[in-house]
Amino acid sequence: MEEKYLICEDSLEGIFTGIYEAYALREDHRNIHLQVGEEDNLRLFAVYIRVAADSGKAAKVAGTICRRLGEGVYLDICRALASEDKGKGDAIYKTVLCGLKMKNGSRVMGNLTDRNVHKVFELARRTRNEVHHWKEFLRFQELESGILYSKIGPENNVVTFLAPHFADRLPLYDFIIYDEKRGIFVVHPKSKEWYLVTDRDFDERKAGDYSEREMEYQELFTFFCHKIAIKERENLKLQRNMLPLRFQEYMVEFGL
């Protein structure tokens, strides 16, 4: 049998549509693979099929996963989808296959002897850990307009996991979280639902400057953090282990 590679866009809708189309082929799943984005080197004797994202088909796959495998597995798959790993598409597809074959599909993530399940488990864990870190290290800064603004550069696409957390804790504030690596903004108007926009629809420079009060508090906070430090107990290695450099560049106390 010839190998078939379904090329999907890097999104939940894209990969879930790929899973839908893989089942629609009604062929041996061992010969079907999901590929996220284009590849530079094509495989010999393989057939490549481009799959356009379809929200209707994706919703059917999402419904099947929730119904047959449970919401916990669905959430882990969504976390794995947020990863930047190019092999995530095929791993998620084969994990769903594995779960649907099990009598109790909700236990699929415990089947770590399966290399695809293990990969999805690892990707989900990395994303979950990064979300946890950003919940602690994300810093909002007040703009002249009164909007709270934060710029981050996460390794994985985690803004949709961060948005509900901060919307729940800051329901009466206007705030924006900007993922500069992907050009995605989370916009939360006070007392309303948050939504996403891209840098094609919104120019970061239009957000405006920081307020005078914000600059004063930044200076005070930075001074405080440096003042309480004990030079004789300085341990940069331990600090970087607890607070990696990739987070520090987005934090007020390290930025000034």
CA dihedral 40, 44, 45, 46 (to 10 degrees): -30
42 vs 246, higher pLDDT: 246
Segment 88-93 mean pLDDT: 96
* pLDDT tens digits along 186-223: 999 999 999 999 888 777 777 778 899 988 888 888 88
Mean pLDDT of 246-252: 88
Pairing type for strands 148-152 and 141-142 reads: antiparallel
Per-residue model confidence (pLDDT) at position 42: 75
232/91 Cα distance (integer angstroms)? 49
Burial tier of 213 (Cβ tally within 10 Å: 0-12, 13-18, 19+):
exposed
Instruction: Place 1 in a pLDDT band, splitting at 50, 70 and 90.
Output: low
Average pLDDT over residues 12-29: 94
Q: 37 falls in which pLDDT band (50, 70, 90)?
A: confident
| Mean pLDDT score, 216-232 | 83
Please state the pTM of the whole predicted model.
Answer: 0.87
Say whether pLDDT at 152 is over 60.
yes
pLDDT digits (tens, 9 = 90+) for 65-86: 999 999 999 999 999 999 999 9
pLDDT recorded at residue 209 = 85
pLDDT at 98: 96
Question: Is the predicted pLDDT of residue 44 greater than 90, yes or no?
Answer: no
Mean pLDDT of 108-130: 96
Is the Cβ–Cβ distance between 79 and 124 less than 8 Å? yes
- Residue 168 pLDDT more than 80? yes
Distances (CA, A) of 37 to 12, 65, 75, 158, 216: 13, 23, 23, 20, 46
- Per DSSP, what are the bridge partners of residue 48? 5
129-133's contacts with Cβ under 8 Å and 24+ in sequence apart are 130/154, 130/155, 130/156, 130/158, 131/79, 131/158, 131/161, 131/162, 133/247
